[in-house]
């Protein structure tokens, strides 16, 4: 899959971003937390590639180290909601009796626009990295449950699963050995998209001032501080934003690439027919 340029470029970008942000302390020429009031809101220069902020800090360095929280939040939320969503989705898809109960709850959770549910939870829990992760996991987990459940429903009645059932294989084994491997690809694809959406959501929450503590550098926090200087120091707003776009775009491209790699016959007649049958 990585052999295609379309998939390789975003992958390399994400790896580079990850490596550069965790090793930032060793190679950044100017410490990103160094304040210098004589250097407030300086435009781009050879020393300060992205200019400086309202405290005279290097925006390039700030942008690089901000990736830590964004990637941490995005990745953790993606993993947690994937694990939770897979478990609930498998159970809902496999056990008819539990299905209606679980799906009612999931429908109820999906009745909130995801950003809003996160906002509400953060409002109640208070803003911090942990709470953001909890809040976003709650918002994205139901999405994953739905995806997994519908995939399980599709493979549940395939003959080899039926055969395993009739030959007395235990449910946990059927679920983990027979069903899970077959629904793995939509899970991975959806997980990648959740990664991307969590980064956007974290940035939005921090931007609104209800996210990560303002003392921790994140792209959302930077933009929150930058917005009042948009007219006099547009670079302050532009660069963190570009990094959000590039990171999210890379993840979305990877998700798309994974989907194509898993499903070579992308959306043909089959799906349409299935839908028609379902409707009638």
Applying CB under 8 A, among 38, 159, 215, 231 the residue interacting with other proteins is 231
- Measured CA to CA, the distance from residue 154 to residue 169 in angstroms comes to 20
Q: Is 43 in the site for other proteins (CB under 8 A)?
A: no
Q: At which residue do the structure tokens 């160094």 appear?
A: 34
Selected from 204, 213, 260, 262, the binder of other proteins by CB under 8 A is 204
The reply to whether 3 sits near other proteins by the rule CB under 8 A is no
Residues between 87 and 106 that touch other proteins (CB under 8 A) = 104-105
- Closest to other proteins by CB, 38 vs 231, is 231
> Considering beta carbons, is residue 41 or 164 the nearer one to other proteins?
41
For other proteins, the binding residue among 29, 43, 214, 234 (CB under 8 A) is 234
Q: State the nearest-atom distance from the C-beta of 118 to other proteins, in Å.
A: 9
DSSP classification of residue 178 = I
Tell me if 24 contacts other proteins by CB under 8 A: no
Tell me the C-alpha distance between 102 and 252, whole Å. 29
β-partners of residue 58 are 52
Query: What phi, psi does 58 have (nearest 5°)?
Result: -75, 115
E strands, the chain, are none
111 binds other proteins (CB under 8 A): yes
Is the CB of residue 253 less than 8 Å from the CB of residue 10?
yes
How far is 7 from 279, CA to CA, in rounded Å?
36
User: Shortest gap between Cβ of 240 and other proteins (angstroms)?
Assistant: 8
Q: Is 269 in the site for other proteins (CB under 8 A)?
A: yes
Q: Is 230 in the site for other proteins (CB under 8 A)?
A: yes
Number of helices (H) and strands (E) in the chain: give both, helices first. Answer: 12, 0
Would you give the binding string for other proteins spanning residues 162-201, x where CB under 8 A is met? ----------------------------------x---x-
Place of tokens 């998700």: 255
Q: What is the C-alpha separation between 222 and 218, in angstroms, rounded? A: 6
Distance CA 206, CA 212 (A): 6
CB of 271 to other proteins, least distance (A): 7
Residues, the chain: 280
State the residues that interact with other proteins by CB under 8 A: 104-105, 107-109, 111-117, 119-125, 196, 200, 203-204, 207-210, 223, 226-227, 230-231, 234, 237-238, 241, 244-245, 248-249, 252-253, 256, 267-269, 271-272, 275-276, 279-280
């Amino acid at each position: 899959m990585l052999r295609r340029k379309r998939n390789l470029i975003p992958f390399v970008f994400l790896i580079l971003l990850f490596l550069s942000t965790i090793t930032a302390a060793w190679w950044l020429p100017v410490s990103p937390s160094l304040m210098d009031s004589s250097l407030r809101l300086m435009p781009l220069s050879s020393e300060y590639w992205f200019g400086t902020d309202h405290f005279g800090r290097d925006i390039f360095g700030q942008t690089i180290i901000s990736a830590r929280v964004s990637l941490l939040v995005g990745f953790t939320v993606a993993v947690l909601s994937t694990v939770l969503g897979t478990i609930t989705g498998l159970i809902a898809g496999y056990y008819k009796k539990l299905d209606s109960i679980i799906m009612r709850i999931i429908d109820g959770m999906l009745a909130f626009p995801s950003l809003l549910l996160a906002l509400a939870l953060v409002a109640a829990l208070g803003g911090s990295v942990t709470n953001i992760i909890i809040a976003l996991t709650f918002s994205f987990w139901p999405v994953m449950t739905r995806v997994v459940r519908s995939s399980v429903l599709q493979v549940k009645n395939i003959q080899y699963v039926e055969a395993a059932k009739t030959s007395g294989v235990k449910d946990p084994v059927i679920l983990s050995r027979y069903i899970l491997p077959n629904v793995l690809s939509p899970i991975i694809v959806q997980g990648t998209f959740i990664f991307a959406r969590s980064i956007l959501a974290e940035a939005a929450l921090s931007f609104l001032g209800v996210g990560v503590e303002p003392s921790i550098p994140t792209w959302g926090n930077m933009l929150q501080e930058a917005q009042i200087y948009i007219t006099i120091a547009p670079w302050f707003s532009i660069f963190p934003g570009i990094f959000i776009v590039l990171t999210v775009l890379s993840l979305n491209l990877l998700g798309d690439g994974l989907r194509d790699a898993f499903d070579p016959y992308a959306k043909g007649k089959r799906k349409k027919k299935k839908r028609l049958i379902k409707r009638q």
